Structure 1
């Protein structure tokens, strides 16, 4: 009996020693791993990160702006016009648009927008033909026929619902299609971003629309210039851009870059 008790006591002591060794291993393992992580830089990776002491914030901003570089020899003048447009938009255009939205029912505003959009499909069709875009010309012709008849002179836009989306083409794109360079960047009063080529295109589109006199609108507008005012208000109403919305001191550069690149894409499509 005594031998059995001694044997049982010996086994219990051995188990206690083994458990103590296991607990010591568990306690020491995290510390070892942590020391390894510290050495490898996983726990505090910023300790091993090295910065270029010669690069300051001004150099970074200058490098960023160089990536947005656009041919702009008239930048000083353009910035003045940009500032004028900013204030005109804030003090005149947007208050008028807000008043227009307040006093005009939604269905009337939609009708006005659709009417002028249908009118704009005339130069769209002309420029699609000049660029030999056959499918786009057919789609624009279909839009004009459907919206002018079924849509009651364009007050509604059933063409979009039957799979004839609006395709915007202008003479600036046509000139670009034939390889005419964009020329210097320009900011037009009230109208906004443009360039020398696109400004000439605007003049051509306006003259073509007046000569075609679709739905007799050009002749009526000459007798009632308030239609030009309504069209300008509608164009600003349908444009979601707001000066200052980028919340950046480099808004001028960004708008200039986006406009220039978007025109390249429109010409290439």
Structure 2
């Protein structure tokens, strides 16, 4: 995962694309709580007025808020009833060294768009570092199963095309919540699609050909994607979770572009 300032630490768990070290199989998973289900505001007693006034400071351009909130709630239910049960089964059935190796392989492939975007942003030092990671992990790490570059002082540098557009001065546009994927913006959602096409075009080590020939690997990719993200819907235990997540995600992206 990326390293960022304390204000954005909570949002670190949201980056689906993304990429945190997975939780141990014995780790507790917070119980799901729908933050909006039991919200009952009594206007006469001015309940939640402090929270509401505080949220004015968290204002984010969100003209699609009604649709976004519905997608957010859909994502939360999908996560609770489908995604997390599958991930728990994966953790139960797969030894940790195997899970680590799977994550390392997919991380190695993600260095392809990382390299391209570092070059486009003029971060040539990071480009050289990512190139070295690709070479060391692909050759000595056996196609990325082992992250030997990390031990050599070459941590992964996450750069995406949404960040590249931001560096070029493209504004984020309206906030959007993408089905299954979560918080984003018009700029970052477009950037995600460009990264996907670029990775498909490069087809590093013929990985896309392999995954298309063996469709089950796409399922493994999706499981590993969620396995590496510790965020849990309802963990904030607040009726204003949507607003808080929206604000933190937006500030995180601003930081990632400015660094």
Query: TM-score under structure 1 normalisation?
Result: 0.78
1:159 corresponding residue in structure 2? 149
SS in 1 for 2:238: coil
2:200 to 206, 210, 219: 210
Instruction: Please give the root-mean-square deviation of Cα atoms over the aligned residues, in Å.
Output: 1.2
Question: Which residues of 2 match residues 219-258 of structure 1 at below 5 A?
Answer: 219-258=209-248
Query: TM-score under structure 2 normalisation?
Result: 0.81
| Separation (CA, whole Å) in 1 of partners of 2:52 and 2:193 | 36
1:126-173 CA-partner distances (Å, limit 9, x unpaired): 000000001110110111011111111000001011100111000000
| Separation (CA, whole Å) in 2 of partners of 1:237 and 1:80 | 24
Shift of 1:58: 4.3
| Separation (CA, whole Å) in 2 of partners of 1:59 and 1:189 | 31
Question: Which residues of 2 match residues 1-269 of structure 1 at below 5 A?
Answer: 56-269=46-259
SS in 2 for 1:194: strand
SS in 1 for 2:184: strand
Q: How many corresponding residue pairs?
A: 215
SS in 2 for 1:186: strand
| Separation (CA, whole Å) in 1 of partners of 2:50 and 2:234 | 23
SS in 1 for 2:236: coil
| Separation (CA, whole Å) in 1 of partners of 2:48 and 2:95 | 50
From the CA coordinates, give the structure whose radius of gyration is larger.
1
Gaps of 5+ in 2: 1-44
